[in-house]
């Protein structure tokens, strides 16, 4: 698997993978144009959307109506390290959601591949070469 990273100008950086291009930018106060999310924002978003996909599959497999279902993801940050220390995912279940699945749907959200990869991080190999 390989993803291509390009630099379209300014503080913008884009990735192309599986036929999709994801654009990022830096905020204006950091020299960017503020036209797209920052890369770290996409990382945080991937945590919530990954957990959300697991909730979607869970509900679809059981024929549970998802109308009114939503999730919020909160982050507590260590200002000294400039890193997130706590991620709090809250699944807001709609009226009529089967009570018997309340704790199970929370466990299912925790199976998210992004979360699992954070707990079992990859090795990083970073190389540079000059193109001919």
* pLDDT tens digits, 58-80: 999 999 999 999 999 999 999 99
Say yes or no to pLDDT of 37 above 90: yes
Q: How far apart are CA 60 and CA 101, in angstroms?
A: 13
**pLDDT grade, residue 132 (50/70/90)?**
confident
Number of domains in the chain: 2
Residues 129, 4: Cα–Cα separation, whole Å = 15
Q: What is the pLDDT of residue 123?
A: 97
Percent of the chain with pLDDT over 90: 98
Model confidence at 15: pLDDT above 90? yes
Residue 110 lies in a domain: yes
Backbone angles phi, psi at 75, to 5 degrees: -130, 130
pLDDT score at 11: 98
Domain range enclosing 27: 1-37
- Say whether both 62 and 115 belong to one domain: yes
**Rounded CA separation 61/68 (Å):** 18
Domain assignment present for 132? no
Does residue 75 share a domain with residue 20? no
Q: Are 65 and 107 in the same domain?
A: yes
pTM given for the model: 0.89
- Residue 45: pLDDT band (50, 70, 90) is very high
Rounded to a whole number, what is the largest CA-CA distance in the chain? 63
């Amino acid at each position: 698997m390989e993803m291509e990273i390009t630099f379209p100008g300014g503080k913008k950086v884009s990735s192309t993978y599986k036929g999709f291009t994801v654009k990022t930018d830096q905020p204006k106060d950091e020299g960017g144009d503020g036209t797209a999310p920052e890369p770290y924002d996409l990382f945080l978003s991937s945590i919530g959307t990954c957990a959300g996909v697991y909730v979607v599959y869970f509900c679809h497999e059981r024929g549970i109506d998802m109308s009114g279902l939503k999730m919020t993801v909160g982050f507590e940050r260590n200002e000294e390290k400039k890193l997130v220390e706590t991620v709090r995912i809250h699944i807001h279940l709609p009226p009529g959601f089967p009570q018997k699945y309340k704790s199970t749907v929370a466990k299912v959200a925790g199976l998210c591949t992004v979360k699992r990869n954070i707990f079992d991080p990859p090795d990083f190999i970073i190389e540079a070469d000059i193109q001919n």
